[in-house]
Each structure stands twice: as C-alpha cells, then as structure tokens.
Amino acid sequence: TDISAQIVREAELRNQAQQDPLTGVYNRAGVELINARLEQISRGVLFMLDLDDFKSINDNFGHAAGDKLLMAVGHILNETFRTDDIVARVGGDEFVVFLSGSDNVKLAEQKGQELLDRVRELRIEGIDAVASVSVGAARAPAHGRNYGALSVVADKALYQVKNGGKGGFALL
C-alpha cells in the first residue's frame, strides 16, 4: 500500500501545528526548537522583539492594520535572518529569533540595528504612524545554555530599551 500521501499530510499537519497562521513564522513551538538547537549548537544569540505601542495602533487604526503590521514584521524577520535560524511569534506583538552558531557581539548588534531600521522604514496601508520595535538580546553560552535562561537576560535587555524610550536595541 502506498502511504506517501498520508506521510505528506502528516508533515503538513505538523507544520500547521508549529506555524503562526498570521505571520507564517513559528508559533510558541519555536521555543522547543530553540532548545533543541541549543543542545546541538551551543553558540547563538536570542533576540526578543516587542512592537512599540502596538495596542495604540490597533486602537487607532483597527485590528486589520495591526495584523498587516505583524505580517510585515514576520516578513522582515524572515528576510533579515538565515533560513536555518529560528523565528517565532510567542505573543500578540512579541517575537523571538535564535541566530544559531555565532555569539559574535558585532554580528548581534548589526542584526539588531538592521531590525530597527527596517521596521522604522515600514509603511503599512491604513497606518498613519511610524512603527518601531524594541529589541533585547542574550548570547549563548555566556548568558545561558537554554531558552529559559537566555530569555530572562534578553527580556531584561528588552525592558532596559523600553524604559529608555523604546525603539532601540540592547545586548547585555
């Protein structure tokens, strides 16, 4: 009996279960993938991103406009990082990215700045405002060897940016 169609369907269902339907990036399943990657490759950078004032965008321009912004940010993340890096939407307007294989500070800062610039340059139909993102990052193994430890440090860096006026990047 040929079961190739069943195998393809199971793979499709597995991908759907791991994918955020709005942005096309991983959903919270990305966290497990990051942990698995960290077991294989001990070096990397975890970026945590939060869209600044996203609630006011939804309130002032509508949820459809907010959805367009989220989709655009997902697209930017996929373009900015390599296909083997892990991009996930872990909350309403929160994303994480794991840049695997390098904990180079200069590269992390370059990627962080590129994200800030690309989001700032976004123009979304229906949003008469400049979008911005706050980004915090942590390096493995210096700041931890699993998602939990890295996310604590990256979150601290993110809130350092938020408290300093938003729209910036910090790597502790």
What stretch of H or E contains 105?
A: helix 105-121
Task: Quote the tokens at residue 156.
Answer: 């601290």
pLDDT by residue (tens digit) across 100-158?
999 999 999 999 999 999 999 998 887 888 899 999 999 999 999 999 999 999 999 99
User: What is the share, in percent, of the chain residues with pLDDT greater than 90?
Assistant: 84
pTM score, two decimals?
0.90
- Among 128, 103, 114, 98, which Cα is nearest to 169's? 114
Q: Would you state the pLDDT for residue 9?
A: 67
pLDDT by residue (tens digit) across 137-146?
999 999 999 9
